[in-house]
């Protein structure tokens, strides 16, 4: 790629999307797309996947086809792109014939930069013929995990995408994107899209702004009220497994003066759409929903996600909790856990095939293990997706309230020996049963009751041995077989441990059957330090809602919370200054900026504030931005030297910034 093109990429990023720099591997992916190569992108929710196809679509000749699974998701993204001044349209069943023809004409005239289509619409013969005539720059397949039957949201129509694309042009570049893909699902996506030559971009599944917590399911309604009222005025989603429970909880919250709406497939479509719009437009604070809700929205400022019932899989749980804090700000994830929920979910699968039942059982076992374990929540989630994290996050409930630890060298040794002597063909339950000495029919059928390891750990409970097996997995002494679900293998690290063992520390699991256990409930929201002017931020939020109503957009389409926070930090009072704010850019500033500038100018004047812009030195603005960055990094427990290096500051300059932050009233825990 030529240097001039690289400059153009960064210019487009700033002028159109309002950002000064790319995040992670975004620029590398965009360059790969612009060069006409296939890309397979696995990034967590909120990491900026959409920009990886939206920016090259703006720069390239013709129209980019975006295959997206839900109509509501298309509308959200089209609204946001139109707000940036980008001509994006969708083609789906909500359009009448006249509207459909208008979209098609705009596409054929190369006026439409991004065209969103559902896979069902893509397969229609008249749409295929229309797309054959269009100038297509490349194809983006969003939510690509829908292709895999091993994924948590399998959609059979996604399997036909490759065939349709080959009818259009078998040389069309493809970018497939997903936020959740286990190694098994990744294999399935590559195979079904025939993307063996695609460059894989996989970033960490770790999202530092999310706080994970699991509580026992006791006095749950009372806990709900306390929790939501301590997060007053913030947007949240509550997930329930049944429609009946959704209606019950929504009614209960409304009776307790919490603006709430239900969402599930049993409601009339117009009621569902109204409830979703009310949530997006901040007319209600909380939506109570089945898992049908959330994938279809792109709301960046959901501040909490609560699982009233246990989800069916860790993959689904990660996807649903990922809807919190997509803008990088506060995101709290709370789950109420009960073994009864697991038992109930197992009954749902009783009429399925043996293979389906076993697959569902393994997924539920993972869910129960995650809930009951006292190991760092983040390490568990990352491990599920095949990512090893050697250190704890320091931010989840298990890290903030650690359980008792015990010396585990002999325990881990026994587990690895048992996996080895049973020929690496079995899963967690069987290994734990053999060690504990459970004399059941399954153990006897393989003659494992005759092995030297049988009953070696009979003094400890089978539950403890399951926990040791899980922790051995997390520590990478064992690994999961990708092709045989649930089967454990010994890793290279495990083999080395057998030869040269060393001290290992394990932790005791939570006992959620003991309802008086160590549950010290803290309903105060988990937050990072704030440096912005809170009073001005609230005024800007109120103005944003007014402007959004006038323009018929959800408020976050106007400006997202991080943009408002920066406005309430740097006090821009001219259009040029507003364009410098993160996430604004020239188009949005021109389209929505005037009333915000007027409000800030009036606020600055009334409160006699000297702004960073008053001295007309850009570095002053950067200093204000540095304050936000420093607070966030200190909260993440990063070394001061590391923070200084990342911003090219001397240690003296950093300490001066910290002194300024503290003197302004913000507490820093260094």
Q: Which residues pair with 479 in a beta bridge?
A: 489
Please indicate, yes or no, if residue 669 is contained in any of the structural domains.
Answer: no
Report which of residues 63 and 610 the model is more confident about: 63
Does 342 lie in the same domain as 232? Answer: yes
Q: Is the pLDDT of residue 37 over 80?
A: yes
Say if CB 482 and CB 412 are below 8 A apart: no
Residue whose token pair is 């397949």: 141
Domain containing residue 432: CATH number: 1.10.10.10
Last residue of a domain, one of 151, 184, 202: 202
Give yes or no: residues 445 and 303 share one domain: no
Q: Examine the pLDDT at 500 and tell me if it is beyond 70.
A: yes
Q: Do both 114 and 224 map to the same domain?
A: no
Give the model's pLDDT for residue 517. Answer: 47
Write out the residue range of the structural domain in which residue 47 sits: 3-202
Residue 527 inside a domain? The answer is no
Average pLDDT over residues 610-620: 47
Whether 43 and 176 share a structural domain: yes
Nearest-angstrom CA–CA distance, 296 and 472: 37
pLDDT value at position 625? 56
The whole-chain average pLDDT of the chain stands at 87
What are 590-601's pLDDT values in tens digits? 999 999 999 999
Do both 376 and 492 map to the same domain? no
Which of 186, 202, 218 is at the close of a domain?
Answer: 202
pLDDT at 296: 56
* Structure token pair of residue 29: 């992916």
* pLDDT number for residue 613: 56
Last-in-domain residue among 141, 176, 202: 202
Region 596-614 average pLDDT: 82
263-292 pLDDT tens trace: 998 889 889 889 988 999 999 999 999 876
* Residue 526 domain-assigned (yes or no): no
HEC assignment per residue over 338-407: CHHHHHHHHHHCCCCCHHHHHHHHHHHHHHHHHHHCCCCHHHHHHHHCCCCCCCCCCCCHHHHCCCCEEE
| Per-residue confidence (pLDDT) for residue 360, from 0 to 100 | 85
| pLDDT exceeds 90 at position 532 | no
pLDDT value, residue 229: 92
How does pLDDT run across 96-154, given as a tens digit for each residue?
889 999 999 999 999 999 999 988 888 888 888 999 999 999 999 988 888 876 555 66
| Number of domains the chain is built from | 4
Q: Is residue 338 part of a domain?
A: yes
Tell me what pLDDT residue 496 has.
Answer: 96
- Shared domain for 192 and 288, answered yes or no, is no
pLDDT in tens, 323-339: 999 888 899 999 999 99
What six digits make up the tokens of 641?
């030297």
**Residues 485 and 625 both lie in one domain:** no
Same domain? For 106 and 156 the reply is yes
Read off the pTM.
0.80
Whether the predicted pLDDT of 431 surpasses 70: yes
Share of the chain above pLDDT 90, in %: 55
Region 62-77: mean pLDDT is: 85
Out of 286-300, 483-497, 504-518, the most confident range is 483-497
User: Does residue 193 sit in the same domain as residue 215?
Assistant: no
Cβ neighbour number for residue 392 with a 10 Å cutoff: 15
Looking at residue 238, which CATH number applies to its domain?
A: 3.40.50.300
Q: What is the pLDDT of residues 44-61, one digit of tens each?
A: 877 888 999 999 999 999
- Whether residue 523 is contained in a domain is answered as no
Same domain, 114 and 40: yes
For residues 321 and 293, membership in a common domain is answered with: yes
- Same-domain pairing of 46 and 159: yes
Exposed, middle or buried: residue 519 (CB in 10 Å: 0-12, 13-18, 19+)? middle
């Amino acid at each position: 790629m030529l240097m001039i093109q690289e400059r153009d990429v960064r210019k487009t990023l700033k002028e159109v999307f309002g950002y000064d720099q790319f995040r992670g591997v975004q620029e590398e992916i965009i360059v790969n797309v612009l060069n006409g190569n296939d890309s397979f992108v696995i990034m967590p929710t909120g990491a900026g996947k959409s920009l990886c196809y939206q920016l090259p679509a703006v720069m390239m000749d013709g129209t980019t086809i975006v295959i997206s699974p839900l109509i509501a998701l298309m509308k959200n993204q089209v609204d946001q792109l139109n707000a940036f001044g980008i001509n994006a349209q969708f083609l789906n069943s909500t359009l009448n014939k006249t509207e459909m023809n208008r979209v098609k004409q705009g596409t054929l005239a190369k006026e439409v930069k991004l065209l969103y289509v559902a896979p069902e619409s893509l397969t229609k013969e008249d749409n295929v013929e229309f797309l054959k005539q269009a100038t297509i720059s490349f194809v983006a397949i969003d939510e690509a995990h829908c292709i895999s039957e091993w994924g948590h949201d399998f959609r059979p129509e996604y399997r036909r995408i490759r065939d349709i694309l080959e009818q259009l042009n078998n040389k069309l570049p493809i970018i497939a994107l997903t936020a959740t893909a286990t190694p098994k699902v990744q294999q399935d996506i590559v195979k079904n899209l025939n993307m063996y030559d695609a460059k894989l971009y996989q970033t960490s599944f770790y999202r530092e702004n999310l706080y994970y917590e699991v509580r026992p399911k006791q006095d749950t309604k009372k806990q709900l009220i306390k929790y939501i009222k301590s997060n007053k005025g913030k947007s949240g989603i509550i997930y329930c497994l049944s429609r009946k429970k959704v209606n019950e909880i929504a009614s209960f919250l409304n009776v307790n003066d919490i603006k709430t709406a239900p969402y599930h497939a049993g409601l009339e479509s117009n009621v569902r759409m109204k409830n979703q719009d009310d949530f997006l437009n901040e007319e209600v604070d909380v939506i109570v929903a089945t898992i049908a809700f959330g994938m279809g929205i792109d709301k960046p400022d959901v501040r909490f996600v609560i699982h009233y019932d246990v989800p069916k899989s860790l993959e689904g749980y990660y996807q649903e909790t990922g809807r919190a804090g997509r803008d990088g700000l506060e995101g709290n994830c709370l789950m109420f856990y009960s073994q009864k929920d697991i038992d109930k979910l197992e009954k749902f699968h009783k009429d399925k095939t043996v293979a389906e039942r076993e697959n569902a059982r393994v997924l539920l076992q993972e869910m129960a293990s995650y809930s009951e374990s006292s190991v760092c929540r983040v390490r568990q989630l990352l491990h599920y997706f095949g990512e090893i994290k050697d250190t704890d996050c320091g931010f989840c409930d298990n890290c903030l309230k650690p359980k008792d630890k015990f010396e585990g060298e002999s325990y881990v040794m026994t587990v690895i020996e048992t996996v080895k002597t049973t020929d690496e063909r079995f899963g967690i339950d069987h290994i734990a049963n053999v060690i504990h000495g459970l004399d059941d029919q399954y153990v006897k059928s393989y003659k494992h009751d005759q092995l030297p390891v049988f009953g070696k750990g009979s003094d400890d409970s089978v539950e403890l041995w399951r926990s040791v097996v899980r922790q051995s997995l997390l520590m990478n002494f064992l690994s999961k077989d990708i092709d045989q679900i649930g089967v454990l293998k010994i890793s290279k690290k495990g083999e080395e441990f057998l030869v040269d063992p060393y001290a290992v520390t394990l932790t005791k699991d939570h006992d959620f059957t003991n309802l008086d256990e160590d549950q010290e409930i803290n309903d105060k929201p988990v937050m990072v330090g704030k440096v912005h002017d809170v009073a001005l931020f609230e005024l800007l939020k109120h103005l944003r809602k007014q402007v959004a109503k006038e323009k018929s957009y959800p408020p976050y389409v106007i400006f997202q919370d991080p943009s408002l926070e920066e406005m309430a930090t740097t006090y821009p009072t001219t259009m040029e200054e507003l364009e410098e704010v993160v996430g604004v850019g020239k188009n949005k500033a021109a389209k929505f900026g005037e009333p915000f500038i007027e409000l800030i100018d009036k606020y600055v004047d009334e409160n006699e504030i000297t702004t960073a812009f008053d001295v007309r030195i850009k570095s002053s603005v950067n200093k204000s931005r540095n304050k936000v960055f420093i607070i966030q990094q200190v909260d993440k427990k990063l070394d001061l030297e590391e923070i200084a290096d990342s911003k090219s500051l001397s240690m003296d300059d950093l300490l001066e910034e910290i002194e300024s932050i503290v003197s302004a009233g913000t507490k820093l825990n260094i």
